[in-house]
Structure 1
Amino acid sequence: MASIIKNRDIVNDDWSVVRAAEDGALPTVSELPAGKVIVPLVLWQTEREALVAARGATEIGVWLAPDSEPADIAGDFDELALIAVDFPVFRDGRGYSIGRLLRERYGYKGELRAIGDVLRDQVRLMFRCGFDAFAVRADKDINDALKAFDDFTVQYQGAVDDPSPLFRRRAAQAGVDKVPA
């Protein structure tokens, strides 16, 4: 069984990511593997009722591509066990924005997983953007990727994990009431 980083710990991953075939064809609901599945957004949009009827909300997750619109899934949070965001290549950073939008604009509170080309260099920043689970690329050492959380002890800018920038945190510690924006 594969492992993932979840909530800063290495755990067994009991989810299967469903992808389209090489010709672009998506599986039918009856062709999905047994157990918990993370399906592409387009499959969720076309087969939502059948997926929920067949699996229930505890065994269905949806993954978003870099060009997906998070608003398209905002009304479905209660029907999903998790949302994953695909990072198809290291240089495609649109998933970071999707993570922040899901957490900050749409208020998603469930598991937010990074899948695809997830590397150690990205894990800390993905966490700051709201991700709490990471399916590290299979050819990389997950134990090494876990160490990314300890690379930096102070962040200058605000993010999902700590919205207050460093200058405001220091001003609050010093007891200063008014800090210029």
Structure 2
Amino acid sequence: MPDVLRADGLHQDEWTLSRDEEALPQARPAIVPLALWQASADREGLAPWLPSDTVLDAELMATLGECPLIAIDFPAFTDGRGYTMARLMRERVGFKGDIRAIGDVLIDQLYYLRRCGFDSFALRDDQDVDDALRAFQSFSVHYQTGVDQNEALFERRLRERSA
């Protein structure tokens, strides 16, 4: 089985990624295209991967909220729509499952992807795992809010001064 990166290291991945848009894979658990996942009568052991142009309306977000894992595809590292999708799932739905970044995922993105709610990362093949693990520690202070910090730095400082 291939490995998947998390902030605490490389882990064996139990999920198989299938990009086949016509048929469900025999092996489960599997990550499948969103349309195929939606059309499936039996979603046991299936998780959807969302293309970057997915519109997350309230109905879809509620349905996705029941999944153990959601994969969000980055067709190019310059496509930032996946960041928004992860943050919406965390903040609006309170999604507690695994959100995975797949596709053109580079080391430079990891720190920010994690701040937006991603838990696991399928790095592009040419990326170094040791460099990737160091990337999670790139910054020690967060100025802005994120799913991991709901107060901006100035708000934290004001609160600390008034205490």
Between structures 1 and 2, the one with greater helix share: 1
Match of 2:75 in 1: 88
Question: Could you state the TM-score of these two structures normalised by the residue count of structure 1?
Answer: 0.83
Following superposition, the deviation at residue 170 of structure 1 comes to: 1.1
Displacement over 3 Å in runs of 4+: none
CA contact (8 A) 1:88 1:117 kept: yes
Match of 1:179 in 2: none
Match of 1:41 in 2: 34
Following superposition, the deviation at residue 7 of structure 1 comes to: 4.7
Following superposition, the deviation at residue 149 of structure 1 comes to: 1.2
Work out the CA distance in 2 between the residues paired with 1:172 and 1:8. Answer: 31
Gaps of 5+ in 2: none
Match of 2:47 in 1: 61
Gaps of 5+ in 1: 21-25, 177-181
Match of 1:28 in 2: 23
Stretch deviating more after TM superposition (94-103 or 69-78):
69-78
Match of 1:9 in 2: 9
1:170 partnered with 2:161? no
* Structure ID, larger Rg: 1
Match of 1:23 in 2: none
Q: 1:16-165 to 2 correspondence within 5 Å?
A: 16-20=16-20, 26-29=21-24, 32-47=25-40, 49=41, 51-52=42-43, 56=44, 59-71=45-57, 72-77=59-64, 79-165=66-152
Deviations 1:23-61 (A, max 9, x none): xxx2323xx1413100111111222x1x32xxx2xx211
The 3 A distance-change label for structure 1 pair 113 and 123 is same
Work out the CA distance in 2 between the residues paired with 1:106 and 1:115. Answer: 21
Work out the CA distance in 2 between the residues paired with 1:9 and 1:73. Answer: 31
SS, match of residue 70 in structure 1: coil
Following superposition, the deviation at residue 158 of structure 1 comes to: 0.7
CA contact (8 A) 2:7 2:136 kept: no
Following superposition, the deviation at residue 77 of structure 1 comes to: 3.8
Following superposition, the deviation at residue 124 of structure 1 comes to: 0.5
Size of the aligned set, in residue pairs, is 162
Following superposition, the deviation at residue 135 of structure 1 comes to: 0.9
CA contact (8 A) 1:4 1:142 kept: no
Following superposition, the deviation at residue 18 of structure 1 comes to: 1.2
